[in-house]
Amino acid sequence: MLIQKRDTKKFFEKNLLDFFQKHGRKHLPWRKKNIAAYEVWVSEVMLQQTQVTRVIGYYKKFLKRFPKITDLASISWREFLPYYHGMGYYRRGENMLKTAKIIVTRHKGKFPQTKEGLMSLPGIGEYTASAILSFARDKNYLAFDTNAQRVYGRFFYGSKNASVDR
């Protein structure tokens, strides 16, 4: 039985990597080497409950106007809103602005280096903290989102709603 489980995991891993090589969205503006924590954070916040195709334009426009977290932290909600308007879930935008101000004032413009430090900021949960640490800091954290959970649950448990113990 142990050999069968090991073979199943290898099969899953190989096919998942093959799928990514063939269909992975490597063209996305946030899929690049040496990405800054700020860029990962902006993309992850915008991608929450929003389709990728919709986010691309907002992300590019947003980073053109606010290329650094200090640029974002220096503005008001009124100045922020035109660059976020239409994304919905405005609490995310409010939290972005709050978090930018906290990072600049309390952390000297640098994102915290720990998961706990990141999760102490408004609007940053476990997934976003893991994504920042993994993609921008090259740390060994699993950014396990709802989509990954569905694939994993369907393959190993036969249901997209399976509870997966990470």
Q: What amino acid positions are annotated as catalytic residues?
A: 44
**Of 147 and 21, the one with more pLDDT:** 21
pLDDT surpasses 50 at 166: no
Measured CA angle at 94 (ends 122, 133), to 5 deg: 40
pLDDT of residue 1: 46
Confidence of residue 159 (pLDDT cuts 50, 70, 90): low
The Cα 17–Cα 152 span in angstroms is 13
**Of 79 and 165, the one with more pLDDT:** 79
For residue 58, what are the contacts with CB-CB under 8 A and spacing of at least 6? 46, 83, 84, 86, 87
The Cα 60–Cα 41 span in angstroms is 14
Query: Tens of pLDDT along 63-77?
Result: 999 999 999 999 999
The Cα 26–Cα 21 span in angstroms is 9
